[in-house]
């Protein structure tokens, strides 16, 4: 029996999760349409994975992937706020329709649990000085955040109505190896790292004082594994912040990466981007209490590992 399915398993977070499951000796099935994921991300896993080239927006693809699976890690999405602003229909199709397909297929196949990759975008820009806590109202300011919020509600309802165990994990600015620096929608850390490694100036949108709870991907993988195995009475139908619990400005991030890379190219400042949140920091107390989550890799160590990976692979 294939115990684990990772949707979007060739993507950045999905491939790191797939690699860890394989390293633990599990046989893993991956469903990916390779719109943003890369086959190279899975190339060293050999016959430990079963790869299905398919799409979560096609229900029959999802049914085929979920068959015989115990736990689904649902990572597939269009992971970009700016892209959702440009294409809200595509963002909704991938995130809302895709998640509903996963839940229906998992219910019908008698899977035990679905772990959903949600997002801090759900909180929006409310109370910028406060750490985001799960009891806060959802006030997204981008189509991406709205889609993640709707998908979370589907997860909650499927637990309450059908008894399918669901856990939603709200990721905060995840970074690390295998994150694509080439896309026009690339996240800030891979963009900064590649610019510095190539002795090119960084581009910072806004004044650089906006802050993020940057979270190394290894901590996110750990949180997913805990969510898959925690007692259902602790996590069933619940949402959890998954982050480092810290706060770093983009200007400070640029300074840290300049020190790690040895580059001293000065940043260029541009206009703020639509849909961007000014401050984001997570309260991770609930994940600590219910799942035993504790981020074990610091941001600085994560940045060092990330820079080293880009030096060797890009």
Say if residues 52 and 247 touch (Cβ distance below 8 Å). no
∠ CA 69-72-78, rounded to 5°: 135
Lowest pLDDT segment from 59-73, 98-112, 130-144: 130-144
How far apart, in whole angstroms, are the C-alpha atoms of residue 50 and residue 2?
Answer: 9
pLDDT for the residue 2: 54
pLDDT for the residue 1: 44
Q: Give me the CATH topology for the region 4-174+215-244+281-296.
A: Rossmann fold (3.40.50)
Tell me the whole-structure pTM to 2 decimals. Answer: 0.94
Residue 185: pLDDT band (50, 70, 90) is low
Chain mean pLDDT for the chain: 94
Mean pLDDT of 173-191: 87
Domain ranges in the chain are: 4-174+215-244+281-296
List, for residues 86-127, the tens digit of each pLDDT value. Answer: 999 999 999 999 999 999 999 999 999 999 999 999 998 887
pLDDT higher than 80, residue 242: yes
Say whether 144 is catalytic. Answer: yes
Say if residues 29 and 54 touch (Cβ distance below 8 Å). no
pLDDT for the residue 184: 62
CB atoms within 10 A of CB 137: 8
Out of 123, 144, 159, 171, the active site residue is 144
SS3 for 303? helix
């Amino acid at each position: 029996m294939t115990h684990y399915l990772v949707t979007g398993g060739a993507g950045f977070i999905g491939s790191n999760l797939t690699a860890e499951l394989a390293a633990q000796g599990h046989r893993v099935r991956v469903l990916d349409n390779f719109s943003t994921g890369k086959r190279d991300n899975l190339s060293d896993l050999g016959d430990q994975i079963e790869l299905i080239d398919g799409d979560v927006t096609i229900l029959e693809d999802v049914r085929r992937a979920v068959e015989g699976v115990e736990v689904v890690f649902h990572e597939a999405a269009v992971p970009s706020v700016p892209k959702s602003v440009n294409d809200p229909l595509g963002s909704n199709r991938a995130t809302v329709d895709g998640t509903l397909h996963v839940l229906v297929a998992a219910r019908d196949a008698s899977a035990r649990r679905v772990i959903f990759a949600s997002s801090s975008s759900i909180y929006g820009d409310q109370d910028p000085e406060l750490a985001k806590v799960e009891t806060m109202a959802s006030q997204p300011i981008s189509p991406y955040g709205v889609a993640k919020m709707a998908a979370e509600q589907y997860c909650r309802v499927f637990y309450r109505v059908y008894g399918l165990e669901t856990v939603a994990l709200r990721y905060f600015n995840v970074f690390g190896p295998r994150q694509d620096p080439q896309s026009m929608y690339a996240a800030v850390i891979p963009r900064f790292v590649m610019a510095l490694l190539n002795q090119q100036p960084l581009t910072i949108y806004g004044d650089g004082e906006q802050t993020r709870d940057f979270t190394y991907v290894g901590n996110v993988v750990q949180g997913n594994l805990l969510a898959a195995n925690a007692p259902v009475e602790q996590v069933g139908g619940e949402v959890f912040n998954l982050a480092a619990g810290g706060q770093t400005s983009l200007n400070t991030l640029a300074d840290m990466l300049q020190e790690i890379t040895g580059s001293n190219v000065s940043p260029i400042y541009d206009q703020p981007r639509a849909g961007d949140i000014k401050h984001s920091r997570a309260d991770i107390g609930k994940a600590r209490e219910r799942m035993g989550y504790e981020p074990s890799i610091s941001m600085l160590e994560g940045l060092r590992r990330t820079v080293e990976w880009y030096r060797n692979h890009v």
